[in-house]
Amino acid sequence: MDPSVAPLLKQIEQLGSRSQTEAGDPGKACRRALLQAAQKLCITLQDPGQLVEEFLFGSADNLLIKVAVDLKIFKRLSEAKEPVPLTQLAESTKCDVALLNRIMRGLASFHAVEQIDDEVYAPSKITNAFASTKGDAGARLFYELVVPGMQPIPKFLAETSYKNPTNAEHLPFNLAFGPQLFFPWVQEHPEVLGSFLEWMAVQREGHTPWLEFYPFEQQVVSGFRAEDPHAVLLVDVGGNTGHEIREIRQQCPSLRGRMVLQDLPSTIAQVKSSQDMEAMAHDFFTPQPVEGARVYYLRSILHDWDDAKCTIILQNIASAMKPGYSKVLINEFSIPGRGASAFTMRSDFMVMALAGAVERTENQWHVLLNSAGLKIDRIWTAEPESESIIEASLI
């Protein structure tokens, strides 16, 4: 057996003991270290041939997940009060029994469901995860858009002599879906757009919410001119249907001040303005109409665009900012120089393939913001797998 197995087992035992004594596991550091050690142990226990099979055949697992989502298998098992026989599942899904038997055995083989007895199934942790909105919408979005858009990466890079993709009109996405740009294509495909909007609303489930590690009241509210009834506390630029504003209102119910949600007309059409949130159709490539707000918040916006486009977005905001008062909060990954998480890098290749964009390092953020007349005041990061809060102001 590989000699590194014993030290890894000892490390896992020590981390397991620590996790029982560290109340709350601040920053989830202990759990993260335990997970990394367990993953390393799984790799160590496999021989090279098995590792190759694990990676290459793993795509079949993802396809089975999508089939199970389509048949609502996860939801049916998750909602059932007792284990479900195969015949009952076949009746409710209208799936051929012989085929369903193969599907369920396949799902059970990687613990996506639990096989209690011969042809009897119950929910597993993976079952319940994919019964959620995040799991359901994510499976649809990735199968319909993300995976096909990333599939041509090897061919595309070979054909372009392995140059870093930056032309939004010539990307792996275009080899799969044609010449149109990514976002206009999504807007013209309602089913994909629906999955996209659902996913964006819940994608951060499982990650530390930014309001838990960024001192919003101290950094934003304390300097806000609340005595002015017309003052805008926050503008959520490209904010989808307003889930971030609703979360802020829920976390800080006594907040005073206007909050403005901005997105394209097709998205804003789904939102009703209220006392808590003003909905405004706006294209962030045009001048920012709300001037002098305390905060301009951008969540998962800039990683969809190259530096030139991001500079335009940021310059439009900078022109509307009040010196010494307004801030920009960017809620995105800030990749460390060493030890980037697998989740972050998967996201990096996703935005590269679909939009010719990039998940940026701290140094890249400094360069980008400076190009738009802004400077970074501080970066808050809770954990490697979660987006940071990059706070910036006018130079």
Asked if 348 and 300 count as a contact pair (C-beta separation under 8 A), the reply is no
Q: Assign 3-state DSSP to the chain and report helix, strand, coil percentages, each to 5.
A: 50, 15, 35
Transcribe 336-372 into DSSP letters.
Answer: -SS---HHHHHHHHHHHHHHS--PPBHHHHHHHHHHT
**One of 230, 243, 282, 303 is an active-site residue; which one?**
303
Q: Quickly count: other Cβ atoms within 10 Å of residue 316's Cβ.
A: 20
Alpha-carbon distance values, 346 to 2, 150, 393 (Å): 29, 10, 30
How far apart are alpha carbons 70 and 148 in whole angstroms?
Answer: 18
How far apart are alpha carbons 151 and 154 in whole angstroms?
Answer: 8
Transcribe 256-325 into DSSP letters.
Answer: -SEEEEEE-HHHHTT----SS-EEEE--TTS--SS-S-SEEEEES-GGGS-HHHHHHHHHHHHTTPPTTT
CA dihedral for 153, 156, 161, 164, sign (positive or negative)? negative
CA angle 291, 297, 299 (to 5 degrees): 145
Asked if 126 and 134 count as a contact pair (C-beta separation under 8 A), the reply is no
Based on the residue annotation, tell me whether 111 is a catalytic residue of this protein. no
Alpha-carbon distance values, 164 to 114, 160, 395 (Å): 43, 9, 30
Q: Which amino acid is at 52?
A: V
How far apart are alpha carbons 352 and 372 in whole angstroms?
Answer: 22
Asked if 64 and 103 count as a contact pair (C-beta separation under 8 A), the reply is yes
How far apart are alpha carbons 150 and 173 in whole angstroms?
Answer: 7
How far apart are alpha carbons 293 and 290 in whole angstroms?
Answer: 7
Buried b (16+ CB within 10 A) or exposed e, 228-247: eeeebbbbbbbbbbbbbbbe
Q: Quickly count: other Cβ atoms within 10 Å of residue 145's Cβ.
A: 24
Residues annotated as catalytic (active site), given as ranges? 303
